[in-house]
Amino acid sequence: MSPESKKTIEEKLYANETRVDKTPHLEIADPSVCLECAAKPCTTVCPARTYTWSEEGQKISVSYENCLECGGCRAVCPRSVIAWRNPMGGMGICYRYG
């Protein structure tokens, strides 16, 4: 068994590199829709905690720089309001271990 295969998930994730694009690659196209989304699954499915609901501001904040580009949020959003574009070339997550 190679030393690489003995690494834990956390160790492998820690080795990834993210180059943050100045322009967000994720945004909520119509934030007013989120007011009517009771479960807000984007806030629970994202492994990188990109989406946070603010009770005070009554809106979702999107920390796009956390994104691991898995696509889960777009799959679970019941109203399909999460807009996506690929990060610019060389930007975004770079997986060390695939």
Considering beta carbons, is residue 7 or 66 the nearer one to ligand SF4? Answer: 66
Choose among 98, 2, 18: nearest CA to 65: 18
Q: Is 29 exposed, middle or buried (0-12, 13-18, 19+ CB in 10 A)?
A: exposed
Applying CB under 6 A, among 12, 24, 27, 33 the residue interacting with ligand SF4 is: 33
User: What DSSP designation does 72 have?
Assistant: H
CB 47 within 8 A of CB 37: no
Applying CB under 6 A, among 8, 12, 82, 94 the residue interacting with ligand SF4 is: 82
Applying CB under 6 A, among 11, 22, 27, 77 the residue interacting with ligand SF4 is: 77
> Taking CB under 6 A as the rule, does residue 24 contact ligand SF4?
no
Applying CB under 6 A, among 20, 27, 65, 68 the residue interacting with ligand SF4 is: 68
Degrees to nearest 5, angle at CA 22 with 20 and 13: 10
Name the site residues for ligand SF4 (rule: CB under 6 A).
Answer: 26, 28, 33-34, 37, 40-42, 45-48, 50, 60, 67-73, 77, 79, 81-82
